[in-house]
């Protein structure tokens, strides 16, 4: 269940909220981290921060609530909560005894630095020099895509997993996307996410596991934020990075967030995957990197996948029986067995249909009159899914040997009103109540008896 | 996150870079500080959302020019082949320092170029970006109005109104009738500062919120607008006057030839009356 929850958990703010106060305060010692946190705030909260950025004394809470129209107090409250949750605003008692609010001092100092300049460069005093072997932006895109696909390959178990180091492998194993039997439901859901969300999810898992690897969370976070605000196509020097950050750099290099020529090379290039990671940049920027669709499904349950990528083929093979493999084309058959197999792995019919829709071949999308996925296929997938739901189990308590039918009726009515009745048979005077309701029904029965 | 993304916001900033007009305020805040204040405001706007963009137009003595526009990102590469310039030397966000560098250099160039001391206000609002769905214009100004530019400004205001682009104005010390009208017509915010000290805080408080945020926040109330027009001949505010039917220029007395568009008027009404 944990992975299910984690897959819906998104956004930097929720993550920061879960961090202890000490780590948060340390994190605000870096301009990049402050900038990233700032960008994640709601519009109103951003304005609040800007208004208090250059005001040194504490501001009374009543003044702040007067900034907002009376009909928008709800938004005001939300913004206020957001800011206090991650300790950007701290409550402060004014000299007159009024409640006031003050901006976190280190947050203020570092956001000012990011905004107006001053302080030390993010990358230490060393200016990076022009690289003799400058990577072109296409080369960077290609390299990062290659690395990221390695991760995805590992998830679908398409071999080639040797390219990943043990640390990254165990990270992927631990985050519940893969189990011993292959990809899990959460894993499939993960594959359907857009690229930035995927990266973000993996990074959250990485941060969670960082402490167990003996790495300092604050250092990693500020390094990642730094990466996300760097310029694409620009090389940066590894000088001035701490040991932890260097290890992190190698991990990021492995999943394609950073390109480095050699392990010992002093320069690295952040890739598109890393840039704007924390600034709330979503799909639109990275859409072009997504390959166009390749799947056509026919009413005879045949699925044509115009692809040569082992990853794409492995994905399709999760729910269909592969028949032929031709150059540039794979043909599979959606059968009851193959779909049932997918269901047992936790993949739902909806997920399969969505997958086919999002990866549909341009030719399939062209025809306006016919749906992308034929309706017979959709219906059949739902029917097959329903087959699994013919029996459902729930825990319950059986009441029997009830002497009079009036007692039985009273009991049945009570349980029914409470919404805890699972099954009842008036002829046999049998009653099944679910676990949660058992106590209530028992008490009711005792009370009833006493009255008699 | 449940927050509503406001989408792309383009801010067109028109700043008064007339150093002579700034002279009276030099004691409180010198010209460099004034530009610095504006640069921080620009940075704040860009920091609000990564999709926000900016165009800066300097209104200078006798001319106006772009200090920065989104198409100018390559400018630095053309003028300076040394690629180390645009790398942050301090803790500033790189993108911001890149833009700031361009603006600072351009202001320096501009001030050095200055030769004549012909003071007049030149608010030239370029609406080249009117295709943008969510743009707004902010004018920061300290030079007094001249009726010389009544027509271009009025045209500008109505174009802005048509394209639903609000014009905001922040004037220092002296009220500007033109900008008051501009803000009122286009639904922007007009703010008059008594002195330039605290300019940045005013900018951040009143002019940072974009259109969608303006409903939520309480911002400076609309001032009473003096809609009286100034006549073109003596620059006096008049309530009743003569208006050219071609270019709409105003004069306080009847003139046979329009001073602005050279149209010849014949006083037909007067003649008819004589016949009758």
Domains and CATH numbers, chain B: 9-214 (3.40.50.410), 228-276 (no CATH)
- Helix ranges (H only) for A20-125 are 21-27, 31-40, 43-53, 61-65, 73-85, 105-116
A195 and A275 in a common domain: yes
| CA-based nearest residue to B269, from B248, B251, B245 | B245
Integer Cα distance of A207 and A204 in angstroms: 5
Cα separation values, B74 from A391, B21, B77, B98, B130, Å: 66, 32, 5, 11, 22
CB contacts of A119 in chain B (<8 Å) are 90-91
pLDDT at B251 > cutoff 90: no
Same domain for A147 and A93, yes or no, is: no
In a domain, A128, yes or no: no
Which of A138-142, A297-301, B94-98 is least confident? B94-98
- Among A54-63, A404-413, B232-241, B266-275, where is mean pLDDT lowest? B266-275
Cα B108 to Cα B197: distance, rounded to the nearest angstrom: 22
A13-26 average pLDDT score: 81
E strand or H helix at B42, and its extent?
Answer: helix B31-48
Parent domain of A327? 292-387
Query: Are A142 and A109 members of one domain?
Result: no
* Residue B255, pLDDT above cutoff 80: yes
Counting the structural domains of chain A, the total is: 4
Contact A230 B93 (CB under 8 A): no
Interchain proximity B49–A39, CB inside 8 Å? yes
Which of A66, A121, A234 is opposite residue B90, by nearest beta carbon?
A: A121
Mean pLDDT score of chain B: 71
Residues A309 and A274 in one domain: no
Contacting residues for A303 by C-beta, under 8 A, at least 6 apart: A295, A296, A297, A316, A320, A331, A332, A333, A334, A356
- Per-residue confidence at B222, pLDDT binned at 50, 70, 90? confident
Q: Is the pLDDT of residue B21 over 70?
A: yes
The encoded tokens of residue B250 equal 């105003």
Residue B58: helix, strand or coil by DSSP?
strand
* pLDDT exceeds cutoff 60 at A283: no
> How far A402 CA sits from the closest chain B CA (Å)?
53
Contacts of B201 in chain A (CB under 8 A): 54-55
How far apart are alpha carbons B73 and B165 in whole angstroms?
24
Q: Is the confidence at residue A11, as pLDDT, over 70?
A: no
Task: Show residues of chain B in contact with A51, CB under 8 Å.
Answer: 204-205
* Mean pLDDT of the A259-281 span: 73
Using the predicted structure, report yes or no on whether residue B106 has a pLDDT greater than 70: no
For residue A181, is pLDDT > 60? Answer: yes
In 3D space, the residue among A1, A5, A30 whose CA is nearest the CA of residue A204 turns out to be A5
Interchain pair B87, A128: CB under 8 A: yes
Contacts of B3 in chain A (CB under 8 A): 41-43
Residue A365 lies in a domain: yes
Q: Per DSSP, what are the bridge partners of residue A430?
A: A425
The predicted model gives B30-54 an average pLDDT of 82
- Picking from A35, A38, A47 by the largest number of B CB atoms within 10 A of its own CB, the best residue to mutate is A47
Q: Are residues A269 and A158 in the same domain?
A: yes
Give the position of tokens 């008027």: B265
Optimal mutation site among B41, B84, B88, interface A, most CBs of chain A within 10 A:
B88
Nearest to A39 among B50, B88, B89 (CB): B50
Examine residue A129 and state whether it is found in any structural domain, yes or no. no
Q: Tell me, what's the pLDDT at A159?
A: 54
Query: Which residue has better confidence, B90 or A341?
Result: A341
Contact criterion met (CB < 8 Å) for A127 and B84: yes
Q: What is the pLDDT of residues A129-179, one digit of tens each?
A: 566 667 777 888 888 888 887 888 787 765 555 567 777 777 877 777 777
Q: Are residues A349 and A441 in the same domain?
A: no
Nearest beta carbon to residue A122 from set B88, B201, B218: B88
The predicted pLDDT at position A303 comes to: 92
Q: Write down the pLDDT at residue A22.
A: 83
CA–CA distance, B19 with B31 (Å, rounded to integer): 7
CB atoms A46 and B48 under 8 Å: yes
For chain A, what is the largest distance between any 2 Cα atoms, rounded to a whole number of angstroms? Answer: 96
pLDDT at B82: 37
Q: Which residue of A has its CA nearest to B209?
A: A47
Please indicate whether, in this complex, the C-beta atoms of A69 and B201 are within 8 angstroms of each other.
no
In a domain, A267, yes or no: yes
pLDDT at B176 over 80: no
Q: With beta carbons under 8 A apart, name residues in chain A contacting B100.
A: 117
Q: What are phi and psi of B188, to 5 degrees?
A: -95, -175
**pLDDT tens, position by position, A372-409:** 888 889 999 999 988 887 777 888 888 888 888 888 88
Judged against a pLDDT cut of 80, whether residue A97 lies above it is answered with no
Q: Residue A74's closest chain B neighbor by CA?
A: B216
Q: The CATH number of the domain where A75 resides is what?
A: 1.10.10
For residues B170 and A121, what is the distance between their CA atoms, to the nearest angstrom? 34
d(CA A123, CA A407): 79
CB contact under 8 A, A47 and B88: no
Residue A214 shares a structural domain with residue A344: no
Distance from CA of B203 to the nearest CA of A (A): 10
Residue B5 pLDDT level (bands cut at 50, 70, 90): very low
- pLDDT at residue A427 above 70? yes
Average pLDDT, chain A: 79
Pick B67 or A160 by higher pLDDT: B67
- The helix or strand, by DSSP H or E, that contains position B237, with its residue range, turns out to be strand B237-238
Convert B167-231 into a string of H (helix), E (strand) and C (coil): EEEEEECCCCHHHHHHHHHHCCCEEEECCCCCHHHHHHHHHCCCHHHHCCECCCCCCCCCCCEEC
Are A278 and A311 members of one domain?
Answer: no
Question: What pLDDT, on a 0 to 100 scale, did the predictor assign at position A6?
Answer: 41
Mean local confidence (pLDDT), A283-293: 48
CA distance A80 to A74: 10
A51 neighbors B48 (Cβ within 8 angstroms): no
Residues 38-57 of chain A whose Cβ lies under 8 A from any Cβ of chain B: 38-44, 46-47, 50-51, 53-55
Q: Which of residues 83-112 of A touch B (CB under 8 A)?
A: 110
- Residues of chain A found within 8 Å of residue B92, distances taken between Cβ atoms: 31, 113-118
Residue A132 maps to a domain = no
Which of A50-54, A350-354, A409-413, B220-224 has the weakest average pLDDT? B220-224
Query: Nearest by CB to B91, which of A41, A119, A234?
Result: A119
pLDDT at B89 (0 to 100):
47
Closest CA relative to residue A311, chosen from A179, A150, A192, A178: A150
Query: What is the Cα–Cα distance from B211 to B74, expressed in whole angstroms?
Result: 30
Q: Based on the number of CB atoms within 10 Å of its own CB, is B260 exposed (0-12), middle (13-18) or buried (19 or more)?
A: middle
Query: Which residues fall within 8 angstroms of residue A99, CB to CB, at 6 or more apart?
Result: A60, A61, A91, A93
Nearest Cα to Cα of residue B244 among B227, B235, B231, B225: B231
Concatenate the DSSP letters of all residues of A373-442 into one string: S-HHHHHHHHHHHHHTTS-----EEEE-----HHHHHHHHHHHHHHT-EEEEETTTTEEEEEHHHHHHHH
| Structure tokens belonging to residue A164 | 């990943």
Task: Read off the pLDDT of each residue in B160-186 and give the average, rounded to a whole number.
Answer: 81
Does residue A183 sit in the same domain as residue A100?
Answer: no
Does residue B131 register a pLDDT over 60?
no
User: Residues of B near A (CB-CB distance < 8 A)?
Assistant: 1, 3-6, 40, 43-44, 47-50, 83-84, 87-97, 100, 200-201, 204-205, 208-209, 212-213, 215-218
* Least-confidence region, from A202-206, B22-26, B85-89, B158-162: B85-89
In a domain, A373, yes or no: yes
Predicted confidence at residue B135, as pLDDT, reads 76
Residues A368 and A412 in one domain: no
Q: What is the DSSP string of A34-45?
A: HHHHHHHS-HHH
Q: What's the rounded Cα separation, in Å, for the pair A224 and A251?
A: 12
How far, CA to CA in Å, does A116 sit from each of A53, B43, B100, B102? 12, 8, 10, 15
Domain boundary among A344, A362, A387: A387
Residues 6+ apart with CB under 8 A from A322: A313, A316, A330, A331, A332
pLDDT in tens, A196-242: 777 888 888 888 887 777 778 888 888 888 887 777 777 777 777 78
Pairing of strands B10-16, B53-59: parallel
Tokens read off for A255? 């999943």
- Better-predicted residue by pLDDT, B270 or A153: A153
Chain A interface disruption, residue of B90, B101, B206, B212, most A CBs within 10 A: B90
Q: Which residues contact B97 (CB under 8 A, 6 or more apart)?
A: A117, B86, B88, B89, B90
Question: pLDDT over 70 for what percent of chain B?
Answer: 64
Q: Burial level of B71, CB count in 10 A (0-12/13-18/19+)?
A: exposed
Looking at the fold, whether A312 and A297 belong to one and the same domain comes out as yes
The reply to whether A5 falls in a domain is no
- SS3 (DSSP) at A322: strand
Interface of A with B in 115-134 (CB under 8 A): 115-122, 127-130
Binning pLDDT at 50, 70 and 90, where does residue A285 land? very low
Residues A90 and A24 grouped into a single domain: yes
Checking if the pLDDT of B74 tops 60, the result is no
**What's the pLDDT score for residue A101?**
85
Model confidence at B114, pLDDT cuts 50, 70, 90, reads very low
Could you give the CA distance from residue A445 to residue A448 in angstroms, rounded to a whole number?
A: 5
Cα–Cα distance, A76 to A92 (Å, whole number): 19
Model confidence at A279: pLDDT above 60 = no
In-domain check, residue A161: yes
């Amino acid at each position: 269940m944990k992975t299910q929850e984690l897959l819906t958990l998104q956004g930097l703010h929720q993550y920061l909220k879960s961090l202890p106060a000490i780590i948060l305060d340390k994190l605000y010692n870096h301009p990049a981290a402050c900038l990233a946190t700032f960008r994640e705030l709601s519009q109103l909260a951003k304005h609040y921060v800007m208004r208090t950025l250059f005001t040194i004394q504490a501001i009374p809470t009543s003044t702040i609530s007067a900034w907002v129209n009376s009909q928008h107090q709800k938004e005001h409250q939300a913004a206020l909560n957001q800011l206090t949750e991650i300790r950007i605003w701290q409550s402060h008692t004014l000299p007159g005894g009024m409640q006031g609010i003050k901006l976190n001092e280190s947050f203020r100092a570092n956001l000012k630095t990011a905004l107006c300049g001053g302080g030390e460069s993010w990358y230490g005093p060393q200016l990076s020099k022009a690289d003799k072997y400058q990577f072109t932006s296409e080369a960077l895109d290609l390299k990062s895509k290659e690395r990221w696909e390695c991760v995805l390959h590992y998830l679908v178990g398409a071999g080639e997993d040797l390219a990943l180091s043990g640390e990254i492998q165990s990270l992927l194993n631990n985050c519940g996307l893969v189990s011993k039997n292959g990809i899990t439901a959460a894993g499939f859901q993960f594959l359907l996410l857009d690229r930035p969300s995927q990266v973000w999810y993996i990074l959250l898992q990485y941060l969670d596991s960082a402490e167990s690897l003996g790495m300092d969370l604050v250092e990693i976070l500020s390094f990642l934020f730094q990466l996300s605000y760097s310029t694409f196509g620009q090389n940066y020097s590894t000088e001035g990075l701490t040991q932890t950050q260097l290890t992190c750099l190698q991990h990021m290099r492995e999943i394609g967030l950073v390109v480095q020529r050699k392990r010992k090379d002093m320069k690295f290039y952040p890739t598109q995957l890393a840039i704007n990671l924390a600034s709330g940049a979503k799909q639109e920027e990275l859409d072009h990197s997504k390959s166009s669709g390749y799947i056509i499904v026919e009413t005879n349950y045949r699925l044509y996948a115009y692809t040569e990528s082992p990853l794409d083929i492995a994905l399709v093979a999760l729910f269909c029986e592969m028949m032929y493999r031709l150059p540039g084309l794979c043909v599979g058959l959606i059968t009851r067995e193959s779909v049932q197999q997918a269901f047992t792995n936790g993949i739902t019919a909806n997920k399969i249909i969505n997958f086919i829709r999002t990866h549909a071949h341009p030719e399939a999308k062209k025809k306006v009159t016919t749906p992308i996925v034929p309706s017979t296929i959709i219906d059949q997938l739902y029917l097959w899914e329903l087959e699994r739901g013919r029996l459902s189990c729930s825990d319950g308590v059986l009441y029997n040997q009830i002497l009079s039918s009036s007692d039985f009726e009273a009991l049945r009515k009570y349980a029914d009103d409470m919404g805890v009745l699972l099954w009842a048979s008036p002829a046999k005077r049998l009653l099944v109540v679910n676990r949660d309701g058992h106590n209530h029904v028992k008490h009711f029965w005792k009370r009833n008896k006493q009255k008699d | 996150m449940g927050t509503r993304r406001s989408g792309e916001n383009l801010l067109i900033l028109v700043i008064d870079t007339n150093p002579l007009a700034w002279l009276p305020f030099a004691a409180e805040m010198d010209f460099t500080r004034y530009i610095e204040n504006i640069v921080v405001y620009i940075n704040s706007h860009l920091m609000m959302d990564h999709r926000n963009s900016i165009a800066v137009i300097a209104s200078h003595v006798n001319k106006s020019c772009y200090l920065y526009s989104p198409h100018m990102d390559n400018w630095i590469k053309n003028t300076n082949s040394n690629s180390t310039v645009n790398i942050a030397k301090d803790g500033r966000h790189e993108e911001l320092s890149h833009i700031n560098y361009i603006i600072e250099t351009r202001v320096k160039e501009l001030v050095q170029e200055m030769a004549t001391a012909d003071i007049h206000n030149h608010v030239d609002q370029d609406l080249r970006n009117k295709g943008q769905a969510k743009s707004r214009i902010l004018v920061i100004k300290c030079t007094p109005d001249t009726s010389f530019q009544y027509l271009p400004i009025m045209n500008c205001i109505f174009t802005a109104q048509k394209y639903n682009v609000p014009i905001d104005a922040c004037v220092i010390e002296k009220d500007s009738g033109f900008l008051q009208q501009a803000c009122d017509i286009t639904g922007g915010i007009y703010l008059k500062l008594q002195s330039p000290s605290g300019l940045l805080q005013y900018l951040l408080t009143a002019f940072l919120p974009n259109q969608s945020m303006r409903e939520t926040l309480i911002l400076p109330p609309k001032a009473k607008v003096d809609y009286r027009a100034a006549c073109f001949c003596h620059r006096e505010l008049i309530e009743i006057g003569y208006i050219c039917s071609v270019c709409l220029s105003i004069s306080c007395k009847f003139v046979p030839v329009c001073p602005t568009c050279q149209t010849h008027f014949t006083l037909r009404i007067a003649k008819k009356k004589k016949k009758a």
